[in-house]
Structure 1
């Protein structure tokens, strides 16, 4: 079994508030940038991340002894081994490292990272030994106070998203009731959108699209499209499996009943029409005094 040396990064009081709360007192304008392969980390979520690239391991080591803050940005092409600024999206998430586990050889790090808030990279200022960039906050947009129409629409989108996600949890083996409970207990529309996006199966471009949408209502609309398709696919798959199983069971039932009927007929000394015809033909062949070879062929037929 692989052994890990676990390091708790001792988060300060500023990291102990509500999920997604930004640490107080951040005045820095630049961050180390951790490229993410095949994933997007959303704000207000906590996720595990595995780090293996030597440059990324160096980045994490430096961040842990500093303020533990990093920029989490997805790669446009996950096949790239040595990312440059052009290989990264420009919208990502400010993250804080809460826990680090290192393999004995030091080549692999297992991190627990909390996404804090959405950011936009504005200028890369370092490429070696790892990427660093200037950034600005990119806050999501909610309805203005007093905009009752937009507020009602947002509430309807939240309810629809929650109901669809509940149906998805009932169909998808990769989702647990604990995840559903966490989602349904969330009152913040933005956090609900990001929790559902983190838990739902979708491709990288769709995840990035949801992150980059400014309006929370637009994020929920896109999620409803994704959830509707996923539910439809899983429900259709379940129906196909059910129909196939029913067909197999019906064939097995018919075979069992036919065998039962034959057994009953044998017990009663009865024959079905086909068996009687075969017996009559066999008797005629026996009475015809055919040559042996012709007799064998006739009996075979």
Structure 2
């Protein structure tokens, strides 16, 4: 893969692996989690984003573009007087992205940090990542993955990535498909491969009220986690605005987060919450 589509690059991150890190968010995901907090990462293609809360409804963007089947030529971006329209998703070559990431190498070295690949699902673009990591001059690399990728892709990831943040969501495969769009057999297989590899990793479990935070589910996920370190993630209730900006409807609008303290008793090896 000569280029990858990235929708965000966040520096000075302390939540996505050890030390101070830069997190690269790749577009494209095979799951459709009802609670997804990065909807801009679902589609593999660049998308128009309109900040609807700031829109003045002047109509200039519509008047300036008569193409109902948007081809993303960017005409409306320049017409909007409020600057509310942008394209989410930019293509990078491995060399271009490496040059950008290497600017913070001193920070990574001094904090035992590095670069984290997130998304979306970054392992959908693992060939690109495998071509990128040798260009990073030994910088520590991590990946945040849902685990729903081919056996080959996961094997390539194990060869080129130092640390894994592996998401587990739902233990029962039927419920998993209902809430995420896919069954969890592939995910469980790749988790076992990761655990057998000895590669450093943390398992992350999002606590979605009414969906993933019940005792039965958490005890089941604890079985899958085995002796792995587990991190419980608090539900992010602020994702709804992102959906509106992309012209989408958030399935869990109005859902509020709950505290994680009462859930730790179900899982051994739980670390600090996020």
Q: TM-score, normalised by structure 1?
A: 0.22
**Which of the pair has more CA radius of gyration?**
1
* Higher helix proportion: 1
Q: Which has the higher contact order (CA 8 A, sep 6+)?
A: 2
